Structure 1
Amino acid sequence: MTDYFRPLAQTGDARPDEALGIAGTDCWFTHVEHLARGQSARILSLDDTPEDWRKIVCGARKPIEGLRFDQPVIMGILNVTPDSFSDGGQHSSPANALRVANEMVAAGADLLDIGGESTRPGALEVPFEAEIARTVPVIEAIRRKLSIPLSIDTRKARVAHAALEAGANFINDVSGFEFDPDLGPFCATTSAPVCLMHAQGLPETMQLAPHYEDVLLDVYDFLARQIDLAVGFGVRREQIIVDPGLGFGKTQAHNLALIRGLSLFHGLGCPILLGASRKGFIRDIGQAPKAADRAPGSVAVALAAVAQGVQIVRVHDVAETRQALALWQASTTGVGS
């Protein structure tokens, strides 16, 4: 039987002496939720957790490409696709994409995620040549003007190679190294940081009938295996980010279970990224049919994630998220007040 421990994250100045910090963030904990398959959850004290687990959870994550993880990092979404669910076709030209990139940086984005293939539910695979043609001119245009870190949102090694050559810094693979067998070894040869995301199935079919024994533990185990796979290829662990993959082969109930249990993923020892922005469960719960009307719900989920020590939030609405984070931090931790 495998034991899982989820730190019950808290913030604020009323921190007991015995409390431990979470991954170098402003969050701390005094108790954990003990989880095991087929058993009811239990609340345990710190003394009942393994020492090696405590070291992993409490250790500050090392900076990646100049990004520090002691404060929340905002990743701005810049899709250059004709068919993305929220902003398809809006940023396809390099000039327009650069304008939006400038706006996101001015609004408080810490890095930008550029994607040339929609992976919304039902989307079909895009040939790598088309993906390169969409993303490389945009990356080059942004890199000529801005020094902000850039990630390429791709599942394909050839696209990743072209993007890094054009000036991208990160690789954000929504398949977690499961789609293209060449991508993991390629990342190792370039030493580029990589985000490994969980997805059940391919975008074409992933929402037809997603099923898990225990979604929180299943996603955790998948990410643990893929981290080990990446390290086996030669990717350095401190260069790996993990993402539980909200909306990728998950029902509303699955998404909510992952959000409630996010702090579990600190046990993997990597920075955590969460991409909830404008997704379908926000549409349904928030009663917002239009994607552009989902900023309030997206911000709410981002704050819930940061309250559990999540280091990176991937968002469309940068200014709204930055403002909300500033107020949340001032009212909970005193940062910026």
Structure 2
Amino acid sequence: MTPAHQLTLNLSGRLVSLEKPLVMGIVNVTPDSFFAGSRIDGAKALGERLNTLVREGAALADLGAYSSRPGAEEVSPEEERRRLRPALQILRDEYPDLPVSVDTFRSDVARMAVEEYGASMINDISGGGLDPAMYRTMAELQVPYILMHMKGDPKTMQQQASYSDVTLEVIDYFAQRVGQLLELGVHDIILDPGFGFSKTTAQNYELLAQLGSLVEAFTQPLLVGVSRKSMIYRPLGISPEEALNGTTFLHALALERGAKILRVHDVRPAVEAVQLYEELRPVLRSGEGLHYQHLRPL
């Protein structure tokens, strides 16, 4: 018998259902994110961004202070904390009902965010690979952990996009690390295949096409982050600012293949994609639909 998939997340003591996919809105307090429209400078801009997330229906905010774009420069732990603290304070004081995920690969930053500001989740692009204390810290903090696939670090990852079978290697990576986390007592684990991280455009699309294999292999929910990434704008010959339409198209494919969380720059289009997918899903589940062999040429 196939094990049942995880259908809830414990976010600061509140059980949140994953039966309907969730939208996570990106909040970057960085000066160098690859998408200029996501960079936030100052309390006023942050408040406007958070108001937009809430108004457009985001279930989560993902707060990051260290750009993970290819070739990104090093940010010290002190600077990362300095950038995060004012934003975490505003989120805690003014948006207490909006669960906050903190995008960091450092265990001490994760601890600060959870223990001092009540962050609900940690999003680790390195999957524990850049801080050996992260897994034990997550076991102590007992908040959901986003385990992402990446080889190397943001400065070196694009030189490590070598795979015999990218999907199988991502599955093997998750299998090893999920086992370690479960053994330590980390209960809520979300899997992120890491689109754009140590993968070529072709490998990104191969992995997207095979998302269903990841869903079948694990009981943990799947997060997909493709928003405005180079896998969209490079094949189309456009900029990240022009990549919303392509993003929404790939979100629809990811939902159809089993994604439970979409990490996005543009909340409303993603929420609408989820809503329309929910209209379609009962038909997909029942096996009903149009059978083309019944059509006759005019």
* Aligned residue in 1 for 2:202: 253
* Aligned residue in 2 for 1:102: 51
Unaligned runs of 5+ in 2: 285-298
Say if 1:68 and 1:104 are closer, same or farther in 2 by CA, change over 3 A.
same
* Aligned residue in 2 for 1:212: 163
Task: Report if aligned partners of 2:121, 2:144 keep a CA contact under 8 Å in 1.
Answer: yes
Q: How does 1:171-210 map to 2 (within 5 A)?
A: 171-210=122-161
The Cα of 1:273 is off from its aligned counterpart by 0.3
Q: How does 1:235-246 map to 2 (within 5 A)?
A: 235-236=186-187, 239-246=188-195
Aligned equivalents of 2:247 and 2:38: distance in 1? 21
* Aligned residue in 2 for 1:69: 18
What is the aligned counterpart of 1:301 among 226, 231, 250? Answer: 250
Aligned equivalents of 2:36 and 2:53: distance in 1? 14
Aligned equivalents of 1:82 and 1:287: distance in 2? 25
The 3-state SS of whatever aligns with 2:61 is strand
Q: Deviations over 1:146-178 (max 9, x none)?
A: 111100000001111111122211000000011
The 3-state SS of whatever aligns with 1:63 is strand
Task: Report if aligned partners of 1:80, 1:88 keep a CA contact under 8 Å in 2.
Answer: no
* Aligned residue in 2 for 1:280: 230
* Aligned residue in 1 for 2:27: 78
* Aligned residue in 2 for 1:228: 179
Say if 1:95 and 1:124 are closer, same or farther in 2 by CA, change over 3 A.
same
Task: Report if aligned partners of 1:176, 1:199 keep a CA contact under 8 Å in 2.
Answer: yes
The Cα of 1:234 is off from its aligned counterpart by 2.4
Task: Report if aligned partners of 2:26, 2:38 keep a CA contact under 8 Å in 1.
Answer: no
Say if 1:94 and 1:334 are closer, same or farther in 2 by CA, change over 3 A.
farther
Greater helix share, 1 or 2? 2
Q: Deviations over 1:255-294 (max 9, x none)?
A: 00110011111221101001000110101123322x1211
Task: Report if aligned partners of 2:24, 2:262 keep a CA contact under 8 Å in 1.
Answer: yes
Q: TM-score, normalised by structure 1?
A: 0.79
* Aligned residue in 2 for 1:161: 111
The 3-state SS of whatever aligns with 2:26 is strand
The 3-state SS of whatever aligns with 1:75 is strand
The Cα of 1:88 is off from its aligned counterpart by 7.0
Aligned equivalents of 1:230 and 1:60: distance in 2? 15
* Aligned residue in 2 for 1:23: none
Task: Report if aligned partners of 1:273, 1:310 keep a CA contact under 8 Å in 2.
Answer: yes
Task: Report if aligned partners of 2:251, 2:273 keep a CA contact under 8 Å in 1.
Answer: no
The 3-state SS of whatever aligns with 1:179 is coil
**2:221 matched to 1:271?**
yes
Aligned equivalents of 2:43 and 2:111: distance in 1? 19
- Percent identity, aligned pairs only, is 35
Aligned equivalents of 2:82 and 2:41: distance in 1? 10
Unaligned runs of 5+ in 1: 1-50
Q: TM-score, normalised by structure 2?
A: 0.89
One-letter code aligned to 2:180: L
Aligned equivalents of 2:281 and 2:218: distance in 1? 26
RMSD: 1.7
Aligned equivalents of 1:169 and 1:276: distance in 2? 22
The Cα of 1:334 is off from its aligned counterpart by 7.2
Q: Deviations over 1:56-111 (max 9, x none)?
A: 2x435233323211001000000100001003783132332122011111101110
Task: Report if aligned partners of 1:154, 1:172 keep a CA contact under 8 Å in 2.
Answer: yes
Aligned equivalents of 1:320 and 1:304: distance in 2? 14
